[in-house]
A = this chain, B = another copy of it.
Amino acid sequence: MAKALPRSPLAQPLPRLLPVAGVRLGAVAAQIRYKDRTDLMMMEFVPGTTAAGVFTRSKCPGAPIDWSRAALAQGKARALVVNSGNANVFTGRAGVIATQISAAAAARVVHCPATEVFLASTGVIGEPLDAERISDAMPQLYEALSPEGWEDAARAIMTTDTFPKAATRQVEIGGKTVTLQGIAKGSGMIAPDMATMLGFVVTDAAISHDVLQSLLREGTERSFNAITVDSDTSTSDMVLVFATAQAGHDEITSLTDPALAAFREALDSLLLELALMVVRDGEGATKMFTVRVSGAVSDESAKKIALAVGNSPLVKTAIAGEDANWGRVVMAVGKSGEPANRDTLSVAIGNVWIARQGTVVEGYDETPVVAHMKGQDIDIQIDLGLANGHAQIWSCDLTHGYIDINGSYRS
């Protein structure tokens, strides 16, 4: 985390970020783990802000996950505090107290109940988090908050990330312009078991907690829950959405409200853009690949098969080696445990069908596939030929860089 890793070859530049009415944000160096590294980020929301969240499914989550899950129950938010030095995981009773101290410190400066403060942490596991550093830094951090603080915030939540991640959208609701803007971090332990990284989205739309929660849950399924780097799932991670209701339109309180259509689409594409940035920053990644599965017995089955392929070390190393090794794709389909029939299975790479109905396509010419494998974005298609279930996931290759990053002493 302290090491300066080379920037991912798949990195993307930050887009131009806009203020979002109703939120002020910023970051400071609170010396949580490393000296003089910006490691504490805060957002303050206007009263009336609604919240939605999805959390890691880990059975051993960190104390901040428990805290934010509880905060979400009442659906309102006044502040978010994120530290990127210590995950506050497996820290027992001391970890619970650390969350209380952190939330209380934010509540004091914002003048709100501590239960309206959301917390997130990422970093080392099993070491006590000294929450006094968060309390001590809080007044200075609060002074630093500004509607323009987005880039600082995006940088402050990075750990092994090699580039800051943010995305932005504007749509209309009831004749009013609404902004959605989000930041994310993550580069390893990115596995689809929600939520395996940190993502924070703020919008000035007015949307009730229930509706926002449904939108986030659906959008996550096809974005943050459809990416994988190494199949490992973090104990700490979450995606939160806050709606400040400052855009001036009538509050949306029903999922079937037609005024919601454009917003839903914008949120979905924003979540996907952020999620794909996480894959682009996959530890050691030099190529991205997508796996599209069709013809499965159900969408759920298709997703499991797609993830079996996306997580297979043999597929991931083949992609790193620019090897159109479709045999490994067949192997991964077979090991998924999902219904598949070798004699109806078809595989394409770069839109060239290599195998159809369980056997190599006659006269298959590898030339265009070899060319496709040399690119940065690899496309694998699998048709199971059984029914209509389909899914798409994104992953990255497995390279020496991954070993370098994770095989050295205590990251």
Quick check: is A360 within 8 A (CB to CB) of the other chain?
yes
Instruction: Name which residue of chain B comes closest to A364, CB basis.
Output: B126
Segment with Cβ contacts to B, from A24-32, A40-48, A178-186, A319-327: A319-327
Question: Given A320-B407, A334-B60: A189 and B314 within 8 A (CB)?
Answer: yes
Residue count of chain A within 8 Å CB distance of chain B: 71
Nearest CB of chain B from residue A7's CB, rounded to whole Å: 21
For chain A residues 43-93, which have a beta carbon within 8 Å of chain B?
56-61, 87, 89-93
A326 to B326, CA, bound (A): 36
Q: Mark A380-411, 1 if CB is under 8 A from B, else 0.
A: 00000000000000000011101100111110
| Shortest distance between the CB of A160 and any CB in chain B (Å) | 11
Could you say which of B56, B327, B340 contacts A125, with CB atoms under 8 Å apart? B327
Q: Is A193 located at the chain interface by the 8 A CB criterion?
A: yes
Q: Is A359 an interface residue (CB 8 A)?
A: yes
**In this assembly, does A355 line the interface, its C-beta being within 8 Å of a C-beta of chain B?**
yes
- Determine the main DSSP class of A at the interface with B: loop
Q: List 24 A-B contacts (CB under 8 A).
A: A58-B331, A59-B336, A59-B339, A59-B340, A89-B327, A90-B355, A92-B343, A125-B327, A125-B331, A126-B355, A191-B335, A230-B314, A231-B231, A232-B313, A232-B331, A232-B332, A234-B331, A235-B334, A313-B406, A314-B406, A317-B402, A321-B406, A323-B410, A400-B400
- Tell me if A94 is interfacial: C-beta within 8 Å of chain B: yes
Contacts of A341 in B (CB 8 A): 59
User: Which parts of A171-210 form the interface with B (CB within 8 Å)?
Assistant: 188-189, 191, 193
CB nearest neighbor in B for A59: B340
| Residues of chain A whose beta carbon lies under 8 Å from any beta carbon of chain B | 56-61, 87, 89-94, 124-127, 188-189, 191, 193, 230-235, 311-314, 317-318, 320-323, 325-328, 330-343, 345, 355, 357-360, 398-400, 402-403, 406-410
Whether A126 contacts B60 by the Cβ 8 Å rule is no
Question: Which B residue sits closest to A331, measured CB to CB?
Answer: B235
Given the known interface contacts A60-B331, A193-B335, A409-B321, the answer about A92 and B358 at a Cβ–Cβ threshold of 8 Å is yes
CB distance from A60 to the nearest CB of B (A): 3
Q: Which residues of B lie under 8 Å from residue A334 when comparing CB positions? A: 56, 58-61, 233, 235
A45 to B230, CA, bound (A): 46
Q: Which residue of B lies closest to A406 (CB)?
A: B317
* Closest chain B residue, CB of each to CB of A92: B359
Closest to A342 in B: B60
The 9 closest A-B pairs by CB, nearest first: A125-B327, A92-B359, A60-B334, A58-B334, A233-B335, A317-B406, A321-B407, A317-B407, A59-B340
A320 to B402, CA, bound (A): 12
Q: Is the CB of B410 within 8 A of A325?
A: yes
Which B residue's beta carbon lies closest to that of A62?
A: B342
Residue ID in chain B nearest A401 by CB atoms:
B403
Q: Return A363 CB to nearest CB of chain B, in Å.
A: 14
A320: min CB distance to chain B, Å: 4
Contact indicator A312/B232 (Cβ below 8 Å): yes
Contacts of A189 in B (CB 8 A): 314, 331
Q: Say yes or no: A61-B342 contact (C-beta < 8 A), given A189-B331, A191-B335.
A: yes
Q: Are B92 and A330 in contact (CB under 8 A)?
A: no
How long is the Cα–Cα vector from A124 to B330 in the complex, in angstroms? Answer: 12
Are the C-beta atoms of A313 and B402 separated by less than 8 Å? yes
Looking at the complex, which one of B231, B321, B330 makes contact with A126 (CB distance below 8 Å)?
B330
Known A230-B313, A314-B232, A358-B90: A330·B399 in contact at CB below 8 Å:
no
